[in-house]
Chains A and B, each alone.
Chain A
Amino acid sequence: MSMNNQGRPTRAVGAATSGAASTFTGNKALQIEEGLIFEIGHFAETGVDLPEPEGVESRLGDLARSSEIGLPGLSEPETMRHYVRLSQKNYAIDMGPFPLGSCTMKHNPRLNEKVARLPGFADLHPLAPQDSVQGALEVIDTLAHWLKELTGMPAVAMSPKAGAHGELCGMMAIKAAIDARGEAGVRTRVLAPESAHGTNPATAVQCGFSVDGIPADDTGRVDLAALKEKLGPDVAGIMVTNPNTCGLFERDIKAIADAVHEAGGYFYCDGANFNAIAGKVKPGDLGIDAMHINLHKTFSTPHGGGGPGSGPTVLSDALAPFAPAPFVVKDDARYHLVESRAAAKEEGEAASSIGRLTAFHGQFGMFTRALSYMMSHGVDGVAQAAEDAVLNANYVQARLKTEMTAAFDGYCMHEALFDDRFLKETGVETVDFAKAMIDEGYHPMTMYFPLVVHGAMLIEPTESESLRELDQFCDALIHLAKKAKAEGPDAFKAAPIHAPRRRLDETAAARKPVLRWTPERPPQAAE
């Protein structure tokens, strides 16, 4: 296998050799080096035993593919080994704590996986006749009921494919409502805290709005006075995460909602942190107009290495008429799917629908998993999950704040935010501290987010961690903090040394992107 034959800079700052003896194979016991399928595969072989074709004459004419595609194949045992070896280079929730703040890496119950694979759910076509899919429509309707009830909101759009897609849905509904009021082109500004997720401003812009930042007060919450100053007749609405990205509940949430409504705007709540309050608080009681719910966070559908997500979006009475197609309606004992704008109009519901956000009906496979989680936990269990998540985060905050610096005083919600003051003059930076955690067997916390805190470290333990696991984790972080203060940066700058790879050169990757394998050297992107 050829490696590093590109003459790239190969040393990160302070990187020393790991000190471990090298092996003939490059493997390190259980860590097996694995080539790309293009290096180990065969172009004439297949691992699938399909029947021999009968030789029917092609009806593709001159549009048949004659050129070589360039796809290697592996036999079944080779395939299994390739992906198992790759899997062993990944960290995962099932291996240990995954304390990524804002990401909610909780345990993924396997019952959910089992249920989602029932043929009556998995082997179901989205365009099959509706009489043949009544059970699937019942799943959608039942999940919708749970989401509406848990949030205290009257309507929910089920089709958004992920959290950011749900944001788009909610902000589109707000835009449509403003247009319907005859204020198109007048209300063009959206307010969002400086601590907001990056998706918030990106979504607002995708809807044609401009974005105006709201500063935080010194307790880490929206500065209500500053917000009020920014409100005006050109404001379409506000996007606020609650609990916010500092892990704090917005105490003034009702006042915020009132002020925005009084100014003629709408309140979009980013529901990324709903898991802190689910079963305890109905966001509808706080005055919001729209909120997406990440089923892959709060309701435990697996993150899958970056998707698929699912982002159903609840809507207030003011926004419900603009809900996207499709949606499920129940009359007598029969469910039916309303699939087009015109049909929605006839239905009277969603009479001014924003249209369609995706083909078909949303992430159904995530609906079955989330519903399985909800039914297993019940509303009592959902509330307890929120309480335990908040308890665990506060425990971590209380134990760590002796050696690390908490960004704000007081209790937190489901995640604890630290800044890098405790690393001052150690020469160790947040990223070094995070990489040293890898060598201790932990996935790093979210770092450098939210942006309002210097060198931020955002830790979300979730309810899934036991006290024993939390104590081990805290012991390890306290050890690292003391070590940074006592010994300085050298060991930290070299970390990680025990992971499948040392620090990777991300600058070189972006400067000359190599985005695919090619037999010769890959093409270079335009600078």
Chain B
Amino acid sequence: MLGVIGAHKIDDLFADVPADALNADFDLPDHMGEMAVERALGAMAAKNRAAGAGPFFVGGGAYKHHVPATVDHIIQRSEFLTAYTPYQPEVAQGTLQYLFEFQTQVAALTGMDVANCSMYDGSTGCGEAALMARRITKRIKAVVSGGLHPQYAAVTRTNLELVGGQVDCAPIDPGAKEDLAAQIDDDTACVIVQNPDVFGNVRDLAPIAKAAQAKGALLIAVVTEAVSFGAVKSPGEMGADIVVAEGQSIGNPLGFGGPYVGLFATRQKYVRQMPGRLCGETVDAEGKRGFVLTLSTREQHIRRDKATSNICTNAGLCSLAFTIHMTLLGEAGLRRLATLNHQAACKTADALSAVNGVAVLNQRYFNEFTLRLPKKADDVVAALAEDGVLAGVPGGRLWPDDPQAENLLIVAATECVSDEDIRTFTLKLREALQ
């Protein structure tokens, strides 16, 4: 091969590299066989306690659900796993058709007109939604609910402050009692409210949607538990202008936080201000229906410095997992799954609220709720973990600087929780509080 090229040795091809930088020394090991790699990484995996190893009640933006075996089999097919972004539609109709189906499912779930073919995750989608509201309204301020996941709020702050925007975060609101209407003014681009909120409260978005829109601002609804779409009135029905959601719950494993799949939907009139990729229907030269990526004049590879976002990828394979699982569920399956989640949460809340000194703070909730404990939730979670129960997210983990959150414990219960798990959790919590 070197002969055809006209070179003598490989490093002739690297002649443009400064000589003193070529063939550097590295403090790294040489290659290993497949068995040895599997053993080494298997040892690291074995140091972790998997969610399925015992009673498990951790939520807070990522949820343990059962994923049918069919999903993981299909996403490992070579034609999906090892394909590129479908820029050559004639040989990418498989990817494009599922993206079109995905967009339709997301629009239906959120109660919106249109959805894109996914964002990196829910939190980055939230940041992008705030930027989109800024583009639409030409205003600088985001009013953020005290029920928004604090890491979502932090991402939004990072995104907005970068371009001179302003973020007004309300104090934590475990009882869903805040009234944000007073904070909306002529500079407000959007109000961001999570539902169910980070404490598990199911909120009525209609009043705040009206209040925001009356002042020319947009309501951004955030959903971190996608299974709730099967039980709770959709954000679209309650008047949201943009809906962002974390789609991990459907089809995707917990995976220590990623990769996940962000859902992003809005009203028809805002479609050209949307970030991310869109798949659209068209026809081919013979008149047959086909699909292409479209409205790319919004995107970086065409618009460069005028793009709506710098996003270049979506969450392709995770959106495939989402859409396969949703197709397997269908309307009937999703509703049943949601009912099973709600049932597990109601039973867990009833059992735990019978423990001395423990109060459930929520009125309306779906599969997650918040307890006020008589002592620091961090310590309680640590004690229960010793006993093999992963009890939930302690307030101190999400709001390390807020003493009001110290005794709060956010508990999620999904279809994976058994009656036995609930009994064990209750027993161990009682012991830990004695």
Contact = CB atoms under 8 A, between A and B. Distances in A.
B171 interface: no
Contacts of B182: none
Given A4-B288, A356-B154, A378-B31, A286 B162 contact: no
Identify whether the interface residues of A are mostly helix, strand, loop, or mixed: loop
A162 B309 CA distance: 13
26 contacts: A10-B287, A45-B332, A46-B328, A53-B339, A65-B229, A65-B231, A71-B334, A73-B328, A88-B94, A115-B38, A120-B47, A125-B58, A126-B257, A202-B309, A205-B310, A303-B85, A306-B95, A309-B312, A359-B61, A364-B256, A381-B30, A398-B5, A399-B4, A443-B88, A501-B288, A515-B279
B177 interface: no
A442 to B, nearest CB: 9
Contacts of B343: 53-54, 56
A73 B330 contact: yes
Interface stretch (B103-111, B137-145, B211-219, B424-432): B103-111
B331 A68 contact: yes
A233 interface: no
Contacts of B328: 46-48, 73-74, 76, 79
Interface stretch (B114-122, B185-193, B351-359): B114-122
A89 B30 CA distance: 40
Given A126-B62, A305-B83, A305-B317, A526 B271 contact: yes
A72 B323 CA distance: 11
Nearest to A108: B82
Interface in A66-102: 66-74, 76, 79-80, 82-84, 86-95, 98, 100
B81 A92 contact: yes
Nearest to B345: A59
Given A149-B26, A376-B32, A248 B62 contact: no
A86 B97 contact: yes
B101 to A, nearest CB: 5
B174 to A, nearest CB: 16
A48 B68 contact: yes
B79 interface: yes
Residues of A in contact with B, size category: 35 or more
Contacts of A302: 81-82, 317
Nearest to A451: B304
B187 to A, nearest CB: 18
A279 B40 CA distance: 22
Contacts of A175: 162
B4 A355 contact: no
A120 B280 contact: no
Contact of A354 (B53, B62, B70, B158): B158
Interface in B356-373: 363-366
A46 B329 contact: yes
A121 interface: yes
A155 to B, nearest CB: 16
Nearest to A272: B312
Contacts of B272: 525-526
Interface string B291-311: 110111101111111110111
B91 A411 contact: no
Given A122-B255, A513-B294, A92 B82 contact: yes
A285 B289 contact: no
B330 A307 contact: no
A391 B381 CA distance: 55
Nearest to B314: A307
Contact of B304 (A18, A161, A201, A392): A201
B47 A128 contact: no
Nearest to B29: A378
Interface string A180-223: 00000000000000000111011111111011000000000000
Chain A to chain B: the 6 pairs with minimum beta-carbon distance, closest first:
A73-B330, A360-B257, A120-B45, A135-B47, A304-B317, A46-B333
B152 to A, nearest CB: 6
B38 A50 contact: no
Interface in B52-69: 52-53, 56, 58, 60-62, 64, 68
B364 A499 contact: no
A353 B115 CA distance: 33
Contacts of B340: 50-51, 53
Interface stretch (A30-38, A417-425, A476-484): A30-38
A66 B109 CA distance: 13
Nearest to B110: A69
Interface string A50-62: 1101101111111
A69 B229 contact: yes
A523 interface: yes
B136 interface: no
B44 A249 contact: no
B183 interface: no
A141 to B, nearest CB: 10
A47 B326 CA distance: 10
A131 interface: yes
Nearest to A129: B385
A516 B21 contact: no
A359 B153 CA distance: 9
Contacts of A499: 90-91
Tell which of A123, A131, A438, A510 has the most Cβ of chain B within 10 Å. A123
- Among B41, B81, B131, B333, the one with the most A-chain Cβ atoms within 10 Å of its Cβ is B41
Interface string A485-527: 0000000001010011111111011100111110000110110
Interface string A353-397: 011111111111110100110011111110000010011101101
Given A359-B61, A411-B5, A305 B91 contact: no
A379 B26 contact: yes
A375 B288 CA distance: 47
Nearest to A364: B256
A351 interface: no
A149 B162 CA distance: 30
B403 to A, nearest CB: 13
A435 to B, nearest CB: 7
Given A277-B17, A378-B31, A444-B88, A368 B83 contact: no
Given A149-B27, A281-B17, A356-B154, A517 B310 contact: no
A167 B88 CA distance: 26
A307 B317 contact: yes
Nearest to B88: A444
Given A67-B237, A86-B94, A500-B90, A366 B29 contact: no
A308 B258 contact: yes
A226 to B, nearest CB: 19
Contact of A46 (B78, B332, B342): B332
Contacts of A365: 253, 255-256, 258-259
Contact of A11 (B118, B285, B289, B347): B285
B61 A211 contact: no
Given A501-B93, A502-B90, A356 B155 contact: yes
A526 B268 contact: yes
A40 to B, nearest CB: 10
A135 B109 CA distance: 37
B330 A71 contact: yes
B382 interface: yes
A304 B80 contact: yes
A114 B34 CA distance: 11
Nearest to B45: A120
Interface in A223-267: 248-251, 253-254
A12 interface: yes
B422 to A, nearest CB: 13
A379 B324 CA distance: 38
B245 to A, nearest CB: 13
Given A60-B202, A198-B300, A371 B232 contact: no
B149 A359 contact: yes
Given A121-B48, A161-B121, A73 B332 contact: yes
A454 interface: no
